Structure 1
Amino acid sequence: MSKKKHKTNRESRVIISELMLPSHSNFSGKIHGGYILSLMDQIAFACASKHSEAYCVTASVDKVDFLKPIEVGELVTMKASVNHVGTTSMVVGVRVESENIQTGVIKHCNSSYFTMVAKNPEGKSIPIPGLILENKTAIRRFVRSIIRKEDAKARRDRFKASEFELESHLEILEKYNVKITLKN
């Protein structure tokens, strides 16, 4: 079977649901964030692999905000789709919702973006199909992925350790509850 040159995000979309059990909870009785992150990584892998028709690895995860806690007994549904593609990598958007199965109330708990890279059996990055943008939502997601990528590069450039000058940043620390004890 030959690979397509371009695919829609519908062709690689993945949706999973799982009932949250007491074994998934943390000490406060809410579902452990690490467990949710693990599920998110799995669905991002499945979506990226489906798009690329290859094994994929996680290169990075964009900011993760836990918006609302997930309770034991709720049904968690995760939706993943390819939002952006490069030559060998793609950005997979993952949305996490939980549903109280007794009341039917659904809440948005988390969204994040996983950069995934397609690999061949030898571990080398390989080209992936392009993305067909079929509607305004797909275009918006693609453009936002480009902006997030540019923002991340600017952040990395801003925080290069080799260019850090302590003296020019000391006033920032005055607002915080820190005590500086430099030893020479």
Structure 2
Amino acid sequence: MQAKPARMSRSLMSDIIFPSDTNYHGTMFGGVVMQYIDKIATIASMRHSRRGVVTASSDSLDFLAPVKVGEAILLEAFVSWTHRSSMEVYVKVESENLFTGERKTTATSFLTFVALDEDGKPTPVPSVIPETDEEKRIYASAQERYDARTRRKQQRKLGETPS
């Protein structure tokens, strides 16, 4: 199976935030942000694997700043690392004030997806080739995140609380 550059999975999404997307502070509900993140990460992982996928884990979601009503939300995702049938996807979320053009990073996340064959079973995926400085930096730390996921999974099997 031929390796693919990370750029081949890069996916972008944007939307405007309306009052129905926000809480009583006038900022976007965290759960709505999570839904956007899962969607864009699904698209990136399907682009990489050209298979149906399922979300296996959400390793981290760090909210850094709020997205306010009337702003645009901008999401960018790409497959940052792969294992046999799993793909780590990095997602960056920004907000944009559409009047001033000011942008700020509002969240970052790592999720893991598993590619499925026609029978719904895990199937191999191509490895990923990082090209940009950002891709290389994220790729270089991916094994550590994979090891942490594996440890958490093993702890749950043993009935322990993951650390």
TM-score (norm 2): 0.89
Call closer, same or farther: CA 1:48–1:21 in 2, change over 3 Å.
same
CA contact (8 A) 2:60 2:111 kept: no
Cα offsets for 1:115-135 (capped at 9, x unmatched) = 000012321111111112334
Partner of 2:29: 32
Name the SS of the counterpart of 2:109 in structure 1: strand
1:137 matches 2:125: no
Shift of 1:145: 1.4
Q: Is the 8 A contact 2:80 2:130 kept in 1?
A: no
Residue 101 of structure 1 corresponds to 98
Structure 2 partner of 1:167? none
Q: Structure 1 residues 159 and 59 mapped into 2: Cα distance closer, same or farther (>3 Å)?
A: closer
Does the residue aligned with 1:63 lie in a helix, a strand or coil? Answer: strand
What's the offset of the Cα at 1:158? 6.5
Q: Deviations over 1:79-106 (max 9, x none)?
A: 0011001110100000000001111111
Aligned residue for 1:122, secondary structure, equals coil
Task: Give me the CA root mean square deviation.
Answer: 2.0
- Indicate which of 119, 122, 128 corresponds to 2:119: 122
Tell me the alpha carbon deviations over residues 51-102 of structure 1, each in whole angstroms, 9 at most, x when there is no partner. 0000111000012121111101101100001100111010000000000111
2:3 and 2:15 map into 1 onto residues whose CA distance is: 31
Q: Which structure exhibits the higher relative contact order, with contacts defined as CA atoms closer than 8 Å and separated by 6 or more residues?
A: 2
Aligned residues: 161
* TM-aligned CA distance change 1:157 to 1:129, over 3 Å: closer
- Go from structure 1 to structure 2 and tell me whether the alpha carbon gap of 1:56 and 1:18 turns closer, same or farther (over 3 Å shift): same
Aligned match for 1:87, one of 84, 87, 98: 84
SS at match of 2:61: coil
Q: Secondary structure at the match of 2:73?
A: strand
Q: Matches of residues 164-179 of structure 1 in structure 2 within 5 Å? A: none
1:109-164 deviation digits (Å, cap 9, x = unpaired)? 00000100001232111111111233443332112111112234445666876568
Which position in structure 2 is the counterpart of 1:9?
A: 6
Task: State whether structure 2 residue 57 is matched by structure 1 residue 60.
Answer: yes
Structure of higher CA gyration radius: 1
**Which structure has greater strand proportion?**
2
Unaligned runs of 5+ in 2: none
| 1:111–1:133 Cα change, 3 Å | same
Q: In structure 2, do the counterparts of structure 1 residues 136 and 120 end up closer, same or farther at CA, with 3 Å as the change threshold?
A: same
Listed as ranges, the gaps of 5+ residues in structure 1 are 165-184
